[in-house]
Structure 1
Amino acid sequence: MAMVVAGVGRLVKDCEVKEVSEKANIVKFSIAVDRDKENADFFDCFMFVSKNSKLSEYLKKGKAVFISGSLQQERWESKDGQKRSRVVIKVDNLQLLGGNGKSGSKNEAPTVEEVEEDFEF
């Protein structure tokens, strides 16, 4: 059983896209989530998308998103032999929120359904 998480955050930089198969890419991004007025938490996220997805055109620094997904632990050994790990969010659902993080912006962001085609891996 996976631990489910959901929340709203802003991208801290433009997303990265990596090819994983003929049909799919992985979109990687980090979000900042305000804990209170002075502190924020940062989370690394990834999401599988179709090869022809245009989602990466919208996942730019400062954009607000709502995500839901599950926590996943990555483990590896560093070059000096130390064991390392980190927890990332595997995003199952993503909602692009309006605006670009700038005060007074009235940009309407498209929904994922408008930029993502359904497909099977």
Structure 2
Amino acid sequence: MINNVTLTGRITKDLEKHETNKGTSVVNFSLAVDRRRKNANGDREADFISIQAWGLTADLLCKYCGKGSLIGIEGRIQTRNYENNQGQRVYVTEVVAENVTFLDSKKSNGQQGGYQSNGYQNDNYQQPFDGAMPFDDGADDVPF
């Protein structure tokens, strides 16, 4: 069975990191992901996808990214449920980030682009998109 998700989008709000009772970092946020095709008015629409990151990945996201940061996510879809204050069962579907690539950064610390986190302590700095031009793969531009 395959449960694999790959997304590229922008973080929709500033990140707030929390810790579990055992001290594990976790951050929940939304990622705005543009749709490939334009709507009838010629505008691009976006989907807002719930993301959850744990451990070192959560720490690094909060340190280097913020609202508007462009990131790439590789992960898996998970569903969970809980009972709210009104006693109703609430179901949540989200992407659990297993790999994150920072394609730019909100922080003004000179760290622009390219840090990739796989959630492990031996992460290395990479700059795979350094100097890359934005790519627009709009359906209107396809020659066939």
Name the TM-score class by shorter chain: 0.7 to 0.9
Q: How many aligned residue pairs are there?
A: 110
TM-score by length of structure 2 reads: 0.64
Question: What is residue 30 of structure 1 aligned with on the other side?
Answer: 30
Q: Deviations over 1:26-75 (max 9, x none)?
A: 12221101114331111111111239x44312220000000010011120
RMSD (CA atoms): 2.7
Q: Distance in 2 between matches of 1:81 and 1:118?
A: 43
Q: Of the two, which has the highest radius of gyration?
A: 2
Structure 1 counterpart of 2:83, from 73, 77, 85: 77
Q: Distance in 1 between matches of 2:56 and 2:94?
A: 21
Q: Distance in 1 between matches of 2:92 and 2:46?
A: 18
Compared CA separation, residues 56 and 99, structure 1 to 2 (3 A): closer
TM-score by length of structure 1 reads: 0.75
Structure number with greater CO (CA < 8 Å, separation at least 6) is 1
Q: Which structure is higher in strand share?
A: 1
Q: Matched residue of 2:100: which SS?
A: strand
Compared CA separation, residues 80 and 98, structure 1 to 2 (3 A): closer
The one-letter amino acid of 1:118's match is N
- Percent identity, aligned pairs only, is 28
Within 5 A, what are the aligned runs for 1:16-27? 16-20=16-20, 21-22=22-23, 24-27=24-27
Question: Could you list the runs of 5+ residues in structure 2 that have no partner in the other structure?
Answer: 124-144
